[in-house]
Amino acid sequence: MDLSKTKKILIVRFSSLGDILLTTPLIRSLKTKYKQLSIDFVIKNQFKDVVLNNPYINNVYSIKTFEETGKLKKILSNNKYDVVIDLQNNIRSRKLINDISKNIFRFTKPTLSKFLLVKFKINLLKEIIPIPIRYANSLPDFYPDEEGLDLFLPTDITAKINKNADIIGLCPGSVHKTKMWPEEYFIKLGNLLVQNGYEIVLFGGKSDREICAKISGKISNALDLSNDNKLYETSINMKQCKTVICNDSGLMHTAVASKVPVIALFGSTVKEFGFAPYKSKSLVIENNSLSCRPCSHIGLAKCPKKHFKCMKTLTPELVFDKTINFMKKL
């Protein structure tokens, strides 16, 4: 396909936070290489802030519920897109974009490879291909640039913390329990860092308010900046940190897109799935000696083996030492 002659492209990715942030290298690379392109994006309403201020996107179409897709399809059909890129690639996205363009390209999910790795520990993903690269590979012979993730903030937003302070951010939340470093470990790590002259700030979304409150209350002078999914507020404050320590979560990708050095704690998931911090100053801490990893490609409600060694062996002392060494190299 000759994209130099293409005028209008539609990209579809409904959710979630991290997955949408990982689309931004493709968006930027398309627009910078083919300046004539008009790029539209379809997204669920709760995540629209991820792309709302993106200068490479012309129009953002958001839906609150999937019942709205019928009405949206009529609008999209009238837009006469030359190319549609389906990065969601499920029944709902296929139903939405079916017949609205002659050129539809879809993200190829490595479903079988992930299944074999999780269930039988047969690793066909030894060549770790980051998700942004896989997204770009949805288009034939197209490759993204060498830059990282994007998150564009409104000009009127201000931080609540001072960048000149030695601040370390902690993001203890995740949708799935097996991707969460233990609460007591975050507390121990936070206090170790405080004892060494650092200030601690907690970040999280609406579902993380409780755990952030618990942890911040047990770390000396910690500040809890968790909020009701105010993405821009979280990002602007992350930018003030020396580094942010996260689970494998959407906030990990938010920190990467905010151009902050990131330390990521991987438990039940592995880098082979392609979701490690993308083109950033980062460190992934994981236990590669466990034969039971990975036990899931997205995370589980509890450890299938009931020992949770993938996270429990990553002790606060270990993470503290690696954090200090990591920051020395920045």
pTM above 0.95, yes or no: yes
pLDDT of residue 28: 98
Residue 290 · residue 309 · CB < 8 Å:
yes
Percent of the chain with pLDDT over 70: 100
Do the two domains 6-136 and 167-328 of this chain adopt the same fold?
A: yes
**Whole-angstrom Cα distance, residue 177 to residue 175?**
7
pLDDT, tens only, 182-216? 999 999 999 999 999 999 999 999 999 999 999 99
Reduced to 3 states (helix: H, G, I; strand: E, B; else coil), residue 13 is coil
3-state helix, strand, coil in the chain (%, to 5): 40, 15, 50
Given a cut of 90, whether residue 166 has pLDDT beyond it is yes
**Whole-angstrom Cα distance, residue 10 to residue 101?**
9
Reduced to 3 states (helix: H, G, I; strand: E, B; else coil), residue 62 is strand
Alpha helix stretches (DSSP H) within the chain: 17-21, 24-33, 49-52, 69-78, 91-97, 111-120, 131-136, 183-195, 209-216, 231-238, 250-257, 309-312, 316-328
Left (φ > 0), alpha (ψ -120 to 50) or beta: where does 99 sit?
A: left
Residues 6 or more apart in contact with residue 261 via CB below 8 angstroms: 242, 243, 244, 280, 281, 282, 326, 327, 330
pLDDT, tens only, 6-54? 999 999 999 999 999 999 999 999 999 999 999 999 999 999 999 999 9
At the top level of CATH, which class does the domain 6-136 belong to?
Answer: alpha beta
pLDDT band per the 50, 70, 90 thresholds, residue 164: confident
Reduced to 3 states (helix: H, G, I; strand: E, B; else coil), residue 167 is strand
Mean pLDDT of the chain: 97
What CATH code would you report for 167-328? 3.40.50.2000
**Whole-angstrom Cα distance, residue 96 to residue 305?**
40
Domain boundaries, the chain: 6-136, 167-328
Residue 96 · residue 42 · CB < 8 Å:
yes
User: DSSP letter at 264?
Assistant: E
pLDDT, tens only, 261-292? 999 999 999 999 999 999 999 999 999 999 99
